[in-house]
Amino acid sequence: MREATVLDGSTGPQSPPDGAHDRAARLVDRLDPIEDFNYPHFRMRHMVAELLRAGLAPGSEAPDFELPSTDGSRVRLKDLRGQPVVLHFISYTCPVTRGGVSTMRELRGLYGEEVRFVEVLVRQAHPGERHGAYRSQGDKLEDARAFVREEHITWPVLTDDLEGTVQRAYGGLAAAVYLIDGRGTVAFCATWGQAPALRQAIDELLARGGTGAPAGKGTDRMPHLAAAIVAGQGGPLRGGRQALIDLELGFPGGNLLMAVGRMARPLLAPLALRTTPVPVRTRVMLLVGLGGAGAAVCLTSRRRRRRSRPSPDVRRRVTPRVGRL
C-alpha cells in the first residue's frame, strides 16, 4: 500500500522565518520530537506544543498531497480545485474530533456540493490499551474505517502515513480545520476546529465566488473546548483506561469536565454544539448563571464547614481533658 505523498515538497508552515517563530519552532521540537511522533502516552508537553503551533497563514498555498481513502481509492487535493475545500485533521481518540462530529455533519448538510469536505486521520491523540499508538498503516486505516462507521460519515476520510507527512506539511496541528479556496489557497485556519468561525469563513468565501483570502477571521487560534467537554468523552474512551489516566495527567480535570458535560448535554448542547455564534445576551445570561451557581456552591460548602465545627462550649469541655492527659 502506498502511503502519503506531499507533491510540492512542503514539510511545514509556509511563513517567513523570524526570531520569535524560530524560537517557538525549536521549543515545539523539544516538546514533541519527531522521533516520538507516534507517542505511546499523552503528556502535558504535547498539549503545550499544540498551543504553540500556528498552522498555515491565510494566503499560503495549500500543500498538495495524495492520500489513501477508507473506500480504497486515493484522493489528491489538486483534483478538488474549482470549489472550496474544508480540510479537517482528526484523531480516533481525540475529544475535539468526537465533539465536533455533529457540527461538521450540520455544515456538510448546509452546503451540500458547494463545498468539498475531506478529513485526514492523523496520529493517535490519546493512545491506550484498546487503541494504541500506530505501528502500521493497516491499524491506522482500521481506525479510520471504524470512525466512518461509528460516526456515520458520508464524506471522504483519508489516512496520513505513520510519519505524519501531510499533518506536518500543514503545520503539525492535530485538530485543525482549513478552508482552502477554489484556487488552492488557504483562506481560513482554525487550530482547534471552531465551527461558527468556519461557517462565517465559508459564507464569505462563497459570497465572492469561492476564491480569495483571508475569509472570516482568517485565523482562529482560540482553544474552543465546549463541544469537546459536552460531546467529546467518547474519544479518549476509545483508547481505554490508560488513555483516560494519561489525559488526566496531561490535562488535569479534563475527565471531570467531560463527565459533567456529558451528564449536562441536554442543557448545554444547544450552546456548545452549534455552527452559529452564541448570542451576546445568551452568553451574559450563561455567565451570570454560572457565577450564581459557583457562589451557591461556595456558600453551601462554607455552611457545611461551619456546622461541622464543634461549638465553643464543646471546645471548652474538651480542652481541659486534653490538658490533663
For residue 68, whether the previous peptide bond is cis, meaning omega lies within 30 degrees of 0, is: no
Question: Would you place residue 70 in the very low, low, confident or very high pLDDT band (cuts 50, 70, 90)?
Answer: very high
Same domain, 270 and 287: no
Same domain, 194 and 51: yes
Same domain, 217 and 312: no
Same domain, 272 and 287: no
User: What is the tens place of the pLDDT at every residue in 212-270?
Assistant: 999 999 999 998 899 999 999 999 999 999 999 999 999 999 999 999 999 999 999 99
SS3 163: coil
Same domain, 218 and 125: yes
Q: Which domain holds residue 225?
A: 5-278
Total domain count, the chain: 2
Same domain, 250 and 290: no
Q: What share of the chain is helix, strand, coil (3-state, %, to 5)?
A: 50, 10, 40
CATH (domain of 130): 3.40.30.10
C-alpha distance across the termini of the chain, in Å: 81
Same domain, 143 and 250: yes
pLDDT score of 182: 97
Name the H helices within 53-136: 95-99, 101-111
Q: What is the pTM of this model?
A: 0.84
pLDDT score of 275: 95
Cα(3)–Cα(246) distance, integer angstroms = 29
Same domain, 256 and 121: yes
Same domain, 62 and 173: yes
Question: Would you place residue 311 in the very low, low, confident or very high pLDDT band (cuts 50, 70, 90)?
Answer: low
Angle ∠(305,308,310) on CA atoms, nearest 5: 125
Same domain, 94 and 141: yes
Same domain, 298 and 200: no
User: What is the tens place of the pLDDT at every residue in 266-310?
Assistant: 999 999 999 998 776 665 655 555 556 556 656 766 777 777 666
